[in-house]
């Protein structure tokens, strides 16, 4: 694993263990014993937590990084997993072909407690509803008609804090 990717994995592990947002900055003195240095002879670096390394958002490319709204929704999904409503989710975990040169990558692939697959798309708020360009709405409808997944658009609500609106396509 490249040093930059390893650094991001360690940052995510540290933040997850301390209940912080995954992409929050970590003090350099926390990482310096392991990141960017070679271990002394006979000292092994602990391997990254495989659960964090395989269930976190891909970290190699900038386009696969969560924005602030998606990061808040990921925290909401984490809380739903703890509550037993969901089993698993993955950020940008699937890419669907809609036509020859048209693809749709939902923000989250989600497995519910009843083992149903759902695609969750996070959108910005416009009033008490969500905002999406027309091409995005068309892709959502086409994906819902073409694939056996429940497609759900979610957006942050103003009240109560932390609540999310939902619209099933």
Whose CA is closest to 89, among 2, 154, 134? 154
Please tell me the pTM assigned to this model: 0.61
Residue 35: pLDDT band by 50, 70, 90 thresholds?
Answer: very low
**91 three-class SS:** strand
Mean model confidence pLDDT for the chain: 78
- Return the pLDDT at 63: 63
Complete DSSP assignment for 140-164: HHHHHHHSSSEEEEEEE-SSSTT-E
- Return the pLDDT at 33: 47
Residue 126: pLDDT band by 50, 70, 90 thresholds?
Answer: confident
Domains, the chain, in order of start with CATH, read: 1-60 (no CATH), 66-169 (3.40.1350.10)
Does pLDDT of 15 surpass 70? yes
Q: What would the pLDDT profile of 40-71 be if each residue is shown by its tens digit?
A: 455 454 554 444 444 544 444 356 788 889 99
- Return the pLDDT at 8: 72
- Return the pLDDT at 61: 38
Query: Given the DSSP bridges, would you call strands 150-156 and 117-122 parallel, antiparallel or unpaired?
Result: parallel
Whose CA is closest to 20, among 59, 61, 78? 78
Identify any residues that bridge with 111 across adjacent strands, giving them in sequence order.
88, 117
Structure tokens at 23: 């992409």
């Amino acid at each position: 694993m490249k040093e930059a990717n390893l650094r991001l994995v360690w940052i995510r592990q540290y933040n997850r263990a301390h209940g912080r947002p995954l992409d929050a900055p970590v003090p350099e003195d926390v990482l310096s014993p392991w990141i960017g240095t070679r271990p002394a002879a006979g000292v092994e670096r602990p391997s990254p937590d495989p659960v964090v390394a395989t269930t976190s958002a891909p970290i190699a490319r900038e386009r696969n990084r969560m924005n602030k709204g998606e990061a808040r929704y990921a925290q909401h999904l984490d809380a739903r997993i703890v509550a037993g409503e969901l089993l698993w989710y993955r950020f940008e975990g699937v890419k669907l072909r809609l036509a020859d040169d048209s693809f749709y990558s939902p923000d989250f692939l989600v497995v519910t407690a009843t083992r149903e697959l759902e695609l969750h798309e996070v959108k910005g708020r416009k009033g008490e509803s969500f905002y999406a360009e027309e091409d995005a709405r068309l892709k959502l409808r086409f994906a819902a008609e073409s694939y056996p997944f429940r497609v759900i658009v979610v957006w942050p609500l103003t009240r109560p804090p932390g609540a999310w609106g939902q619209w099933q396509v």
